[in-house]
Structure 1
């Protein structure tokens, strides 16, 4: 997402270098959505995978409504007819004839989840989509969706600074049903790298400027936790970001982290986190430093918070 959308100015050349370097390093899962841009991120991924489609797993999403004119409406749309129409543009922008994984990006409260998943199931039957998933859904909705067609993935924010899925039944439910869990923002949108010390370090149009947990008083409180993570990371000879990613990966073989970055250097740092091993004592210490509820401020503005865990 960040390569074209939401986190300040884009650097197309560096983004391409970063994406190609990711493939060189063995990264195979590329996550996008029609909403990112809108549309520009799918077009970017299409350029990245041109000529090597079979080397990658491509996932995209539908549900954050984009108008026919290509503007973000601010609405959630899970209507079957919208899903069927949207996938055609996604495939065209990606330059492919199928999606490996297609998510319902958010849950439309005005459309039964059975109807939305039914439309995705039709795409699987047609061969347009290989597997389906759902994002930011409640445990009850995941169960209802999975009963219509098996879900391969549930994608929800998960990190040392966002541990809701441990207490709201989502992680327990996906494990009971045998669904993979994809953790987005595993670095807490950069908070857990230790590099963000004030709003002044963020670009003018960076999305995080309106995120409550990055507002100055909240950020100051959250940085006290990050400073303790800094100390643990230093003792282990890794960066704070690598420590945070290693923690997510240590939560289970069924948990996949999808850290985003726009730069080669940070990409290489992130990939190296897969080699960081945390002992039981390390994990216990991190649980004490950053337990559920330790982060101050919501992870989205109020309007977006209302669309989560539906």
Structure 2
């Protein structure tokens, strides 16, 4: 389950209640994404809070853009989050899709490349291995709880990025707009092949999609409102055109069938993305997850 970090009028109470409810089960992971030029919470600050608010669930960043951060400071912050959470952190990384986020922090948009991301991952892994990356007396700590650092997922929908990440990532954190299970499995096949060719263990295969639960037209209208807000870098008429087929809206039984379809193609995990802060949506999804087993 993803936190509703892209919804309006958030406060600590909403985020804490969602986090603790997710932690109670049956969800396997608690996820959240990063944007800069938006009013969502800062991802790394939120990581510290979530480490304190939860005890069981795995914490997954989906995704952090390393080119927006100093890689040593990012490695230190993530190692701190891994320590505070008792080794429950998984880090999703991606190149990011919005130039305004790069501009907001003074990052060079020319670094929005697979190579630049991999270079930063190399620095982060050196920090987590306890190597001195400068002439400092001590290496940059704290050491992560998980040996070698938290598992890394590449956040992407592109096969080239998947192939390029096979040398450094432990899996894929995909996303799917139209819930085409076959298309998602085709991307997973790329990952399976690339990881095998690189002599790596089989990748963790995750995907995500927006959801809204309920009867009638209300869920689709809720999802449409969310897309209008979140996709603010796209002209509104384009968002309106894609809204009827983007994400998933329907009943609990229908969501269960969709999850079974993803399970059938070997998906290890689905990261559900809420389109409301309504706790009834979370409780409804939890019922589906319990029935899914």
TM-score, length of structure 2 as denominator length: 0.63
Q: Does 1:247 align with 2:261?
A: yes
Instruction: Provide the aligned C-alpha RMSD in A.
Output: 4.2
How far apart are the structure 2 equivalents of 1:152 and 1:110?
A: 16
Q: Secondary structure at the match of 1:5?
A: coil
Post-superposition Cα deviations, 1:167-198, rounded to whole Å, max 9, x if no partner, equal 7x5210223331011212253xx499863444
Mapped contact 1:4–1:40 kept (Cα < 8 A)? no
Pairwise CA distance, 1:112: 4.7
- Determine which of 216, 222, 238 is the counterpart of 2:240: 216
- Determine which of 169, 172, 180 is the counterpart of 1:154: 172
How far apart are the structure 2 equivalents of 1:63 and 1:41?
A: 8
Q: Does 1:84 align with 2:53?
A: no
Query: Structure 1 residues 52, 117: closer, same or farther in 2, change over 3 A?
Result: same
Query: Structure 1 residues 263, 16: closer, same or farther in 2, change over 3 A?
Result: farther
How far apart are the structure 2 equivalents of 1:12 and 1:105?
A: 27
Runs of at least 5 residues in structure 2 that lack an aligned partner in the other structure:
97-111, 131-142, 196-201
Pairwise CA distance, 1:257: 0.8
Mapped contact 1:158–1:164 kept (Cα < 8 A)? no
- Counting only pairs closer than 5 Å after superposition, residues 184-223 of structure 1 correspond to structure 2 as 184-185=208-209, 187=211, 190=212, 195-198=218-221, 202=225, 206-208=229-231, 215-219=239-243, 222=245
Q: Secondary structure at the match of 2:179?
A: coil
Q: Which residue of 2 aligns with 1:32?
A: 32
Post-superposition Cα deviations, 1:188-236, rounded to whole Å, max 9, x if no partner, equal xx4998634448972798214665797334445x39x97xx85xx6xxx
How far apart are the structure 2 equivalents of 1:200 and 1:170?
A: 25
Q: Which residue of 2 aligns with 1:135?
A: 155
Mapped contact 1:184–1:257 kept (Cα < 8 A)? yes
Q: Which residue of 1 aligns with 2:10?
A: 10
Mapped contact 1:174–1:180 kept (Cα < 8 A)? no
Mapped contact 2:90–2:152 kept (Cα < 8 A)? yes
Runs of at least 5 residues in structure 1 that lack an aligned partner in the other structure:
66-76, 278-310
Query: Structure 1 residues 209, 248: closer, same or farther in 2, change over 3 A?
Result: farther
How many residue pairs match? The answer is: 247
Query: Structure 1 residues 273, 88: closer, same or farther in 2, change over 3 A?
Result: same
Query: Structure 1 residues 198, 140: closer, same or farther in 2, change over 3 A?
Result: closer
